Amino acid sequence: MAVIELAWWQLLLALGLVMGLAWLTHLARLGLARSLVIGALRTVLQLALIGLVLETLFALGTLFWVSLMALVMLLLAGREVMARQTHRLSGGWAYAIGTFSMFVSSFSVALLALLVLIGPAPWYTPQYAIPLLGMLLGNTMTGVSLSLDRLTTQAWQQRLQIENRLLLGQDWKTALGPVRREALRAGMIPSINAMAAAGIISLPGMMTGQILAGTPPALAVQYQILIMLLIVLGTGSGALLAVMAGSRRLFDQRQRLRLDRLEAPQVRQ
C-alpha cells in the first residue's frame, strides 16, 4: 500500500486547532496558552528545519557530517537538561554533568546497536545512526534531567537531615543515600512505565511510524522492542552517572554538604 502524503494545509489545520486550544486555556486562565503556542511553533519550525538538514545529511552520508550532527544534538540536549532544573549546580556543572552523562550512556548504547545489533554498512549510515541516536538522546535527556532535578531539590529540602546524618558519623554517600535512590527512581520511572504500557495501552511512536510508512508490522515490532530496551539501558546508565557525579559535587573533600554550589531556584522554561 502506497504511503498517503500530507499537504501543508493539513498540517496548518492541525496547528490551527492547537492554537484554538491555547485560546481556550487563556480564557480559562490556566497559564498554559503561551507555552502551548511556543511549543507548537517550535515543533513546526524545528521539525521542518531538521527535515531539510536530514535530506542533505542522507545525501552526503559521510562520517564527518554524521559526527557533527551528533555533536550538535548532544550539546543542545545538555542545554535542555540544565534549563529544566530548579536548583541547578553552579559554575556550569549542571551543563557539564548532564552532557557528559548523556554522551557516555547514549553514544555507547548507540555504538553497540550500530556495530553489533543492527549492523548497517557502513556502521554510521545516517538513516540508522541519526534516528537511533535521537531517540536515545531524547529519552536519556529526560531521565538525566529528572534525576538531577530531584537530586538537587531533595538535597536542598532535606539539608538538615543530611547534615544530622553527617554529624552522627555517616559518610557523605550514606547520608545522601535516600536522596540518591529517589533521584534514580525519578529518572527511570518514565522509561519503565513506557515499557509496561507498550503494546497494550499504547503503540510506541517508532513502530507506529514504520507501520504508517509501509513496514510489515512484525518487523516494526522487532525494531520497537530493540529500541525500547536500548532506551532503558541508555536512560538508566545516564541517570546513574548523573546522580553519581552530581552527588559528589554537593560535598567537598571534608565531606561537608556544600549547598552554596547550587544556584538560586530557577524558573522552569
Q: Is the pLDDT of residue 238 over 90?
A: yes
What mean pLDDT comes out for the span 153-170? Answer: 87
SS3 content of the chain, % helix, strand, coil (to 5): 75, 0, 20
What nine digits make up the cell of 27? 480564557
| CB-CB contact of 103 with 35 (8 Å) | no
pLDDT at site 237: 92
Sorting pLDDT into bands at 50, 70 and 90, what band is 101? very high
Whether the full predicted model's pTM is greater than 0.85, yes or no, is no
pLDDT at site 87: 80
What mean pLDDT comes out for the span 103-122? Answer: 91
* pLDDT tens-digit readout, 5-62: 778 889 899 999 999 999 999 998 888 899 999 999 999 998 888 888 888 888 888 8
* pLDDT tens-digit readout, 164-189: 888 888 888 898 889 999 999 999 99
What mean pLDDT comes out for the span 208-236? Answer: 83
Cis peptide bond prior to 190, omega within 30° of 0: no
Question: SS3 for 122-180, per residue?
Answer: CCCCHHHHHHHHHHHHHHHHHHHHHHHHHHHHHHHHCHHHHHHHHHCCCCHHHHCHHHH
Least confident of 36-50, 146-160, 203-217: 203-217
- Phi and psi at residue 85, in whole multiples of 5°? -110, 135
Q: CA 104, 105, 109 angle in degrees (round to 5)?
A: 115
* pLDDT tens-digit readout, 42-52: 999 988 888 88
Q: Is the pLDDT of residue 266 over 60?
A: no
For the packed helices 33-60 and 63-83, what is the interaxial angle rounded to 10 degrees? 160
What nine digits make up the cell of 51? 527535515
- List residues bridging with 251 in a β-sheet: 257
Closest CA to 97 of 264, 241, 255, 256: 241
Sorting pLDDT into bands at 50, 70 and 90, what band is 269? very low
| CB-CB contact of 96 with 69 (8 Å) | no
Sorting pLDDT into bands at 50, 70 and 90, what band is 202? low
Please tell me what DSSP assigns to residue 3: P
Average confidence score pLDDT of the chain: 86
Residue, of 49 and 207, whose pLDDT is higher = 49
